[in-house]
């Protein structure tokens, strides 16, 4: 039983990792307070002067410390946009910011919009017609901004810029003219796009069509609304491509509660590396956006007038091209290695496997298409590749790709050949293994939509179910054709190399594309769910690795005549725990009852001998909102507060309060969050980390009730 003594500590460690790693990722060591500013601001001009009546651009330059960020005009789930208040000579005028397109900044369960690194926020400044050439004017601005990392710090600056008044347009400022011109050119602008939106059971369908979208790369398209209340920023935006544009499915926000909805949706559409301003009005999405609307009485060009034959041809070609996509090529490479193992001498077996792979591919395409059509009929606005729009599905596929890679690396065996492209059914030998490998290849390949598939799929989803299934059948046949052709063409099959020692080397080399596929799926999950779910996936991946090692150990022990039952059971249990960890829903939030903070109220509660938890927070503080959702407003924390009769005080700094600022400074803090826990026996408050977990909070209040 010596092996058991070595395995049990590893097993305990793996079980702990499924819960401990995300917590550790959320609770790093407390950073030391820094009195230095995190954003250096300045005013920079596009010209060396300004003529009477002329408009020039002055940009607010933000040099943001690495790891910190400032905010766009709509900061998202939390945060606060940069503000500027001008003090100008009489007759001078300044516009608001010309905002650059923001970037998405996911923080735990929240999604914020803002800027990192360096950004220029241009402002149009106009001189009065009676400005006197030769004068020098001083343009003063008071800047107020919020900068966040683990904590959020408000920063204020008083800036000024002196410009001469010139008789004619002044020369371009040598250092800043081009950067400001580039910022203005890249800023989102209207581009003649037509946009409509419509609430549906699956969300709010936002359809955008226009000439600039035809042929554009729709991958990563995203809608940044101007109004923070119209969408749930943290939810993914499903994309459907169409011949004339696209349709995004948005999770509705507060503005859609009560059944009314807003009068319009205005914001920025980022697509194909560019950004455009759009203003959507209520209405049904047109077919050209993604085929969501009813089919027109008469086709009007684009994908709508393809016809069944042309759509099927495009789908067949698209299926062929899918074989070259990076997300499916590793699986097909494995099946090619499997056929190579027959060396051309077992043509009947190779043909059976080729046909089984083709049947598995085609049937899976039809099943996915049938599900898509059924959901369309039910009113859901989703796109092809919808199976990878679910974070749990993406996480499970990632673990599956990792298990396949570990199998190919030799950590454990599934059968005696390279038939498998996944653990379980896809790992069986013979025709059954080929059938399920074809099914797995389709599930992973479908999101990698080839360019020529767009018109065909857009057309198919506006037609009858029979026509749509015909197009998807052609897509499946195109996808399966190359592999089936190799299996059935004796001339091609005979050219495959004979079995030999090279196969083991080839097998282990094929593991690396599978590791790459797992890494790609992890990246997809990070885009959908953020750092918390990614940490959970990494913990589950460690457990899967341990399970694979135990499985291999059990197989080697069985080969030597030993009893592998305990090892096999341990491997199965770990695999099940890993899958459960990534699909199990998060702890639902439970609102904690709080009181407004004041020094007097804190003194009263401490005099009563009660534990007290003080939360220095703000509505614009991203870390505060994350902590509230993942650590404070949870069932576990709420029960602990009730059990220990903890008084919960909120020191709300949303509106800047000098008294709270002074208290923060007394603890060496320039911003929020700050969490203090006071025990029952007096003494100073215990400072908790800026990033909380339920376990950190529960342990702190339990300790406070004992002291």
The more confident residue out of 472 and 652 is 652
Per-residue confidence band for 501, with pLDDT thresholds at 50, 70 and 90: confident
Condensed to tens digits (0 to 9), the pLDDT of residues 256-272 reads 887 678 999 999 999 98
From 142, 166, 187, give the residue that closes a domain. 187
Q: What is the arithmetic mean of pLDDT over 578-583?
A: 85
Percent of the chain clearing pLDDT 70 (strictly above): 77
Residue 652 DSSP code: E
From 248, 272, 294, give the residue that closes a domain. 294
- Asked whether 455 and 471 are in contact (CB, 8 A), the reply is no
> What confidence score (pLDDT) does residue 653 get?
92
> What confidence score (pLDDT) does residue 177 get?
97
Residues 267 and 315 in one domain: no
Helix (H) or strand (E) holding 311: helix 308-322
> What confidence score (pLDDT) does residue 458 get?
57
Which value, to the nearest 10 degrees, does the dihedral of the CA atoms of residues 356, 357, 358, 361 take? 120
Residues 667 and 692 in one domain: yes
Does residue 520 belong to any structural domain of this protein?
no
Q: CATH number for the domain including 105?
A: 2.60.40.1250
Residues 206 and 84 in one domain: no
Residues 175 and 218 in one domain: no
Closest CA to 688 of 28, 21, 147: 28
| Model confidence at 156: pLDDT above 80 | yes
Condensed to tens digits (0 to 9), the pLDDT of residues 217-230 reads 888 899 999 999 99
Residues 331 and 287 in one domain: no
> What confidence score (pLDDT) does residue 31 get?
39
Q: What is the arithmetic mean of pLDDT over 449-474?
A: 66
Closest CA to 472 of 435, 442, 440: 442
| Strand bridging mode 203-209 / 194-200 | antiparallel
- Give every strand in the sheet of 595-596, ordered side by side: 595-596, 647-652, 612-617, 674-678, 686-687
| Model confidence at 475: pLDDT above 60 | yes
The tokens for 204 are 């709010």
Residue 705: how many other CB atoms lie within 10 Å = 16
For 457, list phi and psi in degrees, rounded to 5: -70, -40
From 243, 265, 294, give the residue that closes a domain. 294
Does residue 470 belong to any structural domain of this protein?
yes
Q: Across the chain, what does the average pLDDT equal?
A: 80
Residues 345 and 424 in one domain: yes
| Model confidence at 320: pLDDT above 60 | yes
Does residue 79 belong to any structural domain of this protein?
yes
Residues 91 and 196 in one domain: no
Condensed to tens digits (0 to 9), the pLDDT of residues 422-443 reads 444 444 456 777 787 777 777 6
Residues 641 and 698 in one domain: yes
CA end-to-end distance (rounded Å), the chain: 45
Residue spans of alpha helices (H) in 644-693? 658-666
CA distance 378 to 518: 33
Q: Which domain holds residue 116?
A: 39-187
Percent of the chain clearing pLDDT 90 (strictly above): 41
| Model confidence at 452: pLDDT above 50 | no
Residues 182 and 254 in one domain: no
- Asked whether 193 and 216 are in contact (CB, 8 A), the reply is no
pTM of the predicted structure, to 2 decimals: 0.56
Give the range with max mean pLDDT: 29-38, 126-135, 399-408.
Answer: 126-135
Residue 656: how many other CB atoms lie within 10 Å = 11
The more confident residue out of 244 and 495 is 244
Give the range with max mean pLDDT: 15-24, 187-196, 365-374, 579-588.
Answer: 187-196
CA distance 169 to 45: 13
In sequence order, what are the residues at sequence separation of 6 or more whose Cβ sits closer than 8 angstroms to the Cβ of residue 408?
334, 418, 507, 508, 510, 511, 514
Distances from the Cα of 211 to the Cα of 71, 98, 187, 351, angstroms: 31, 24, 19, 48
Residues 284 and 196 in one domain: yes
Burial class (CB in 10 A: 0-12, 13-18, 19+), 201: exposed
Does residue 554 belong to any structural domain of this protein?
no
> What confidence score (pLDDT) does residue 267 get?
97
Q: What is the number of domains present in the chain? A: 4
Cα dihedral across residues 593, 599, 603, 604: positive or negative = negative
CA distance 50 to 129: 11
Helix (H) or strand (E) holding 271: strand 265-271
> What confidence score (pLDDT) does residue 306 get?
54
Condensed to tens digits (0 to 9), the pLDDT of residues 3-39 reads 444 443 344 434 333 343 333 333 333 334 445 789 9
Residues 249 and 112 in one domain: no
Does residue 128 belong to any structural domain of this protein?
yes
Closest CA to 613 of 696, 548, 519, 508: 696
Per-residue confidence band for 111, with pLDDT thresholds at 50, 70 and 90: very high
Cα dihedral across residues 149, 152, 153, 157: positive or negative = positive
Residues 141 and 270 in one domain: no
| Model confidence at 339: pLDDT above 60 | no
Between 15-24, 57-66, 661-670, the lowest mean confidence (pLDDT) is in 15-24
Condensed to tens digits (0 to 9), the pLDDT of residues 76-96 reads 999 999 999 999 999 999 999
């Amino acid at each position: 039983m010596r092996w058991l003594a070595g395995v049990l500590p590893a097993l305990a460690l793996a079980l702990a990792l499924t819960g401990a790693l995300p917590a550790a990722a959320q609770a790093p060591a407390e950073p030391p307070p820094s009195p230095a500013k995190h954003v250096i601001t300045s005013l920079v001009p596009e010209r060396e002067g300004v003529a009477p009546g002329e408009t020039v651009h002055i940009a607010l330059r933000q040099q943001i410390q690495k790891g910190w960020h400032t905010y766009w005009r709509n900061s998202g789930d939390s945060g606060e946009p940069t503000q500027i208040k001008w003090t100008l000579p009489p007759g001078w005028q300044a516009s608001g910011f010309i905002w650059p397109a923001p970037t998405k900044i996911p923080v735990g369960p929240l999604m914020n919009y803002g800027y990192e690194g360096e950004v220029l926020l241009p402002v149009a400044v106009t001189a009065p017609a009676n400005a006197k050439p030769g004068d020098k004017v001083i343009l003063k601005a008071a800047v107020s901004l919020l900068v966040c990392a683990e904590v959020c710090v408000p920063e204020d600056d008083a800036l000024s810029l002196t410009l001469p008044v010139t008789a004619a347009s002044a020369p371009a400022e040598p250092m800043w003219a081009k950067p400001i011109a580039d910022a203005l050119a890249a800023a989102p602008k209207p581009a003649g796009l037509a946009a409509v939106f419509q609430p549906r059971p699956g969300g709010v369908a936002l359809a955008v069509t226009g000439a600039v979208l035809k042929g554009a790369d729709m991958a990563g398209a995203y809608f940044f609304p101007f109004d923070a209340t119209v969408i749930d920023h943290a939810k993914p935006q499903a994309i459907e491509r169409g011949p004339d544009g696209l349709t995004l499915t948005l999770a509705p926000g507060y503005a859609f509660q009560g059944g009314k909805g807003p009068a319009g949706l205005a914001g920025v559409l980022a697509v194909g590396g560019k950004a455009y301003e759009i203003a959507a009005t209520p209405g049904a999405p047109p077919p050209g956006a993604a085929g969501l609307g009813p089919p027109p009485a008469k086709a009007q060009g684009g994908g709508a007038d393809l016809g069944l034959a042309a759509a099927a041809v495009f789908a067949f070609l698209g299926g062929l091209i899918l074989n070259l996509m990076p997300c499916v090529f590793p699986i097909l490479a494995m099946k090619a290695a499997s056929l190579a193992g027959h060396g051309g001498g077992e043509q009947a077996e190779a043909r059976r496997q080729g046909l089984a792979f083709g049947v598995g591919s085609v049937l899976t395409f039809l099943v996915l298409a049938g599900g898509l059509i059924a959901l369309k009929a039910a009113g859901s606005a989703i796109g092809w590749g919808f199976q990878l729009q679910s974070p749990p599905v993406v996480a499970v596929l990632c673990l599956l790709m990792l298990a396949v890679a570990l199998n190919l690396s030799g950590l454990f065996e599934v059968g005696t050949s390279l038939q498998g492209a996944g653990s379980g059914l896809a790992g069986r030998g013979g025709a059954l293994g080929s059938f399920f490998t074809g099914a797995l290849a389709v599930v992973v390949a479908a999101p990698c939509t080839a360019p020529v598939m767009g018109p065909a799929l857009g057309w198919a989803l506006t037609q009858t179910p029979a026509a749509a299934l015909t197009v998807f059948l052609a897509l499946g046949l195109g996808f399966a054709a190359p592999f089936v052709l190799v299996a059935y063409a004796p001339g091609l099959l005979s050219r495959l190399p004979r079995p030999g020692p090279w196969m083991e080397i080839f097998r282990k080399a094929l593991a690396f594309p599978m590791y790459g596929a797992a890494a790609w799926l992890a990246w997809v999950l990070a885009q959908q769910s953020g750092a918390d779910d990614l940490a959970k996936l990494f913990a589950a991946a460690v457990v899967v690795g341990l399970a694979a090692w135990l499985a291999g150990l059990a197989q080697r022990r069985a080969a030597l005549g030993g009893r592998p039952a305990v090892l096999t059971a341990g491997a199965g249990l770990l695999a099940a725990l890993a899958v459960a960890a990534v699909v199990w829903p998060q702890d639902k939030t439970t609102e904690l009852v709080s009181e407004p903070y004041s020094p007097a109220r804190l003194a009263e509660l401490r005099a009563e001998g009660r534990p007290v938890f003080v939360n220095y927070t703000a509505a614009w503080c991203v870390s505060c909102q994350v902590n509230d959702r993942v650590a404070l407003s949870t069932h576990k924390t709420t029960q602990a507060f009730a059990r220990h009769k903890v008084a919960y005080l909120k020191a709300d700094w949303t509106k800047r309060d000098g008294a709270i600022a002074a208290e923060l400074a007394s603890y060496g803090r320039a911003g929020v969050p700050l969490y203090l826990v006071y025990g029952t026996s007096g003494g100073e408050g215990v400072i908790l980390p800026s990033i909380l977990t339920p376990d950190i909070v529960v342990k702190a209040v339990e300790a406070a009730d004992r002291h």
